[in-house]
Chains A and B, each alone.
Chain A
Amino acid sequence: MYSRVYKTLVAAPPLLWVGLFLLLPYGLMFAHSFWTVQDGALVHHWNLSNYQKLLTNPLYAEVLFRTMRIAGSVMLCSLLLGYPLAYYLSFHSGARKELFYQLVIVPLWVSYLVRGYAWKTILGSEGVLNGFLQYAHITHAPVSFLLYSPFAVVLMLTHIYTPFVFLSIYASLEHIPRPLVEASQDLGAGPASTFFRVILPLSMPGLLAGATFAFVLSLGDFLAPLLVGGSSGTMIANIVQTLFGATYDWPLGAAISVCILLITLSLLFLTERLEKRWSFK
């Protein structure tokens, strides 16, 4: 139905653009990881010294593992918060469903930065939460671990990514034909049994997609640590950022970026495999 001319005309522009402005840049990043910096200048000498540095210096491993722990916590907490909310909205909210859905989405329109800033004002020693706790006589002095800690980073990122996880799972749940739920009950399964045997398996694609999204984006986040992480909450992307900034070492930064990229890609690959297994078209 579509001529070759049509198909070429349609495919060429995006291919060219994406090739030039995505493939090439990512390729450059990859290439940089094999170069080095000497005396403040880039040396195009191909070697593995950056990767060696990463493997031998324990600092990088420590920060990377901390980052992965934070990302994992964010993923878990978002799931624990987002799934029940999505489930409730999908199966129990009746006529108001569309309205509630929009209400959950609205905070997404509030800027990431602004929400992080809000948490900063809430969690600080002079902040709203401490103010409230003292006002209600629950504590007598400001609690300090709330801000400038990994806890704060996890809290902020969970807040950011729960709506995304919600969206993904909600879409999946909405796709489950209601007759399946009725059939399950008809055959004798109560609500809990129906959930574990029918609803949960069929919502897996959405769950996996949402969880991966939350994990991967938390892994590479550098803004949250700068806002609320303090020194104990530094993540791997912050190191990359300084290497591209104050500490001028682009190749090393590129190497770490490549590592993050590899972790991301393997996770995506894994999720894709799992999704295929769990999707029942």
Chain B
Amino acid sequence: MSSTAIPQPASVDKNAPLLEVREVAKRFGPREVLKNISLSIASGEFLTLLGESGSGKTTLLRLIAGFEQPTAGEIWMTGERLDTLPPYKRRVNTVFQNYALFPHLNVRDNIAYGLRVQGAPKSEIPSRVDDALNMVKMAEFAGARPSRLSGGQQQRVALARALVNRPQLLLLDEPLSALDANLRRQMQSELKALQREIGITFLFVTHDQEEAMALSDRIALLRDGALEQVASPREIYAHPATAYTAQFIGQTNLLHGEIRRSIATCGVMRWPLEEADSPAVFSLRPETIHLCPDGKRQTNEVKFRATVRQQIYGGASELLEVDCGAGQLLRVRLPACGPLVGEHDFVFSIADAIRVSD
């Protein structure tokens, strides 16, 4: 749950971060929605703020956009103070959750709005709008009113409207949450490709961890107003820092037990572990557990016997719920293997039992 020492992503264009959130807190009346957040966003990266509702992710986004003021702390962008500026003076643009397209303007005028309002040269506007339309593949709808467009189409227009202003930072507030599953997946890949192509920094907010994993260069997981962990998707999946992170991102089994005299004991499972005596929690991903048909285990493996209680077929894999005895239930993901019944031996590598803080 510490929020210091944020690792920089490997592929950073410039050395200095684009956006710095410095010890920002936000309070609404008695409620502390954000507690001492410090975060840096590198230029050109796709960073996702991930969390449940109430975690503060949208509040943080709105602070950066300018619709709220921090109760404490500062926000800096490209070496200048950002949080003291009103939203219309920030080089930041937002794609709103319900798109917020102006109903009284057609698509073209919606997209041109920012350009017109900021006094862009009149001669430039049509071509820039056309470029934006083409970028989101909405050129044929240029004259339509938003009310005539589908959700996905509106979303593209909202994106174009924001991007045409060439902001330094693009904020996206759960832009895909109103779309149905297939459209969502399609838009995810389009969004990712677009970001790669134009190189603008994206700050993306979502509660969907799969979406975050698919799109981001880095994920910042928020919990109850504080940063739980900030890391790349692979890193955060393989090495979750806390039990919460382990459970929130992907599926996991949480093994509660203790370490005593260099032996870790969790229910029926024991394995050697060189660490001080203390209670411990381990995260064990379901796909790291395998069947052990010949009953033999390797030296760096843990073997246990369990009864299959439930089996859910998932096409390429099966998800089993197994009972290890004494009320200890685990979830195991196996490649498709046909129905399994009764007691079986299972193994997992000691290295896959990641110790997490509670």
Asked if chains A and B are in direct contact (CB within 8 A), the reply is: yes
Question: Chain A: residues with CB nearer than 8 A to chain B?
Answer: 177, 179-180, 182-190, 193, 197-198, 201-202, 278, 280-281
Q: How does the 8 Å CB contact mask read for B112-130 relative to A, with 1 for contact and 0 for none?
A: 0110011000000000000
Contact B88 A179 (CB under 8 A): no
Q: List 12 A-B contacts (CB under 8 A).
A: A177-B98, A179-B97, A182-B67, A183-B101, A186-B65, A186-B87, A186-B88, A188-B89, A188-B165, A197-B113, A201-B104, A280-B103
- Given A198-B102, A281-B147, answer yes or no on A185-B96 (Cβ-Cβ < 8 Å): no
With a cutoff of 8 Å between Cβ atoms, the chain B residues found around residue A190 in the complex are: 86, 88
Contact B104 A280 (CB under 8 A): yes
Pairs of residues from A and B, 4 with the lowest C-beta to C-beta distance, nearest first:
A187-B114, A280-B103, A179-B100, A183-B100
- Given A188-B117, A197-B117, A280-B147, answer yes or no on A183-B102 (Cβ-Cβ < 8 Å): yes
Contact B94 A189 (CB under 8 A): no
Q: Nearest chain B CB to A236's CB is how many angstroms away?
A: 37
In the assembled complex, the Cα of A179 lies from the Cα of B103 at a distance in Å of 12
Contact B66 A185 (CB under 8 A): yes
Contact B96 A183 (CB under 8 A): yes
In the assembled complex, the Cα of A189 lies from the Cα of B87 at a distance in Å of 9
When the two chains form the complex, which single residue of A189, A201, A280 contacts B117, counting CB atoms closer than 8 Å? A189
Q: Which residue, of A183, A198, A281, has the highest number of chain B Cβ atoms within 10 A? A: A183
In the assembled complex, the Cα of A182 lies from the Cα of B95 at a distance in Å of 11
With a cutoff of 8 Å between Cβ atoms, the chain B residues found around residue A193 in the complex are: 117
| Apart from A184-B117, A189-B88, A197-B117: 11 A-B pairs, beta carbons within 8 A | A177-B98, A182-B67, A182-B87, A182-B100, A183-B101, A184-B102, A185-B66, A187-B118, A188-B118, A189-B113, A280-B104
Report the contact-size class of chain B (Cβ under 8 Å from the partner): 20 to 34
Contact B94 A183 (CB under 8 A): yes
Q: How does the 8 Å CB contact mask read for B303-326 relative to A, with 1 for contact and 0 for none?
A: 000000000000000000000000
Contact A185 B88 (CB under 8 A): yes
When the two chains form the complex, which single residue of A180, A201, A202 contacts B100, counting CB atoms closer than 8 Å? A180
Q: Nearest chain A CB to B117's CB is how many angstroms away?
A: 4
With a cutoff of 8 Å between Cβ atoms, the chain B residues found around residue A186 in the complex are: 65-66, 87-88, 92-94, 162
Contact A179 B117 (CB under 8 A): no
Q: Nearest chain A CB to B4's CB is how many angstroms away?
A: 31
Interface check B156, CB cutoff 8 A: no
Contact A187 B113 (CB under 8 A): yes
With a cutoff of 8 Å between Cβ atoms, the chain A residues found around residue B184 in the complex are: none
With a cutoff of 8 Å between Cβ atoms, the chain A residues found around residue B114 in the complex are: 187-188
Q: How does the 8 Å CB contact mask read for B42-66 relative to A, with 1 for contact and 0 for none?
A: 0000000000000000000000011
With a cutoff of 8 Å between Cβ atoms, the chain B residues found around residue A198 in the complex are: 102, 104
Interface check B145, CB cutoff 8 A: yes
- Given A183-B94, A186-B94, A187-B113, answer yes or no on A202-B86 (Cβ-Cβ < 8 Å): no
Q: Nearest chain B CB to A177's CB is how many angstroms away?
A: 7
Residue on B nearest A179 in the bound complex, by CB? B100
With a cutoff of 8 Å between Cβ atoms, the chain A residues found around residue B147 in the complex are: 280-281
Residue on A nearest B146 in the bound complex, by CB? A280
With a cutoff of 8 Å between Cβ atoms, the chain B residues found around residue A177 in the complex are: 98, 100
Interface check B218, CB cutoff 8 A: no
In the assembled complex, the Cα of A188 lies from the Cα of B91 at a distance in Å of 9
Q: Nearest chain A CB to B293's CB is how many angstroms away?
A: 58
Q: Nearest chain B CB to A110's CB is how many angstroms away?
A: 37
Q: Nearest chain A CB to B75's CB is how many angstroms away?
A: 16
With a cutoff of 8 Å between Cβ atoms, the chain A residues found around residue B100 in the complex are: 177, 179-180, 182-183
Residue on B nearest A190 in the bound complex, by CB? B88
With a cutoff of 8 Å between Cβ atoms, the chain A residues found around residue B67 in the complex are: 182, 185
In the assembled complex, the Cα of A180 lies from the Cα of B117 at a distance in Å of 15
With a cutoff of 8 Å between Cβ atoms, the chain B residues found around residue A180 in the complex are: 100, 102
Contact B113 A179 (CB under 8 A): no
With a cutoff of 8 Å between Cβ atoms, the chain B residues found around residue A201 in the complex are: 104
In the assembled complex, the Cα of A182 lies from the Cα of B89 at a distance in Å of 13
Interface check B285, CB cutoff 8 A: no
With a cutoff of 8 Å between Cβ atoms, the chain A residues found around residue B87 in the complex are: 182, 185-186
Contact A182 B96 (CB under 8 A): yes
In the assembled complex, the Cα of A184 lies from the Cα of B98 at a distance in Å of 14
With a cutoff of 8 Å between Cβ atoms, the chain B residues found around residue A185 in the complex are: 66-67, 86-88
Interface check B207, CB cutoff 8 A: no
When the two chains form the complex, which single residue of A179, A187, A197, A202 contacts B161, counting CB atoms closer than 8 Å? A187
In the assembled complex, the Cα of A188 lies from the Cα of B116 at a distance in Å of 9
In the assembled complex, the Cα of A185 lies from the Cα of B65 at a distance in Å of 10
Contact B117 A187 (CB under 8 A): yes
With a cutoff of 8 Å between Cβ atoms, the chain A residues found around residue B88 in the complex are: 185-190
In the assembled complex, the Cα of A180 lies from the Cα of B87 at a distance in Å of 13
In the assembled complex, the Cα of A187 lies from the Cα of B118 at a distance in Å of 8
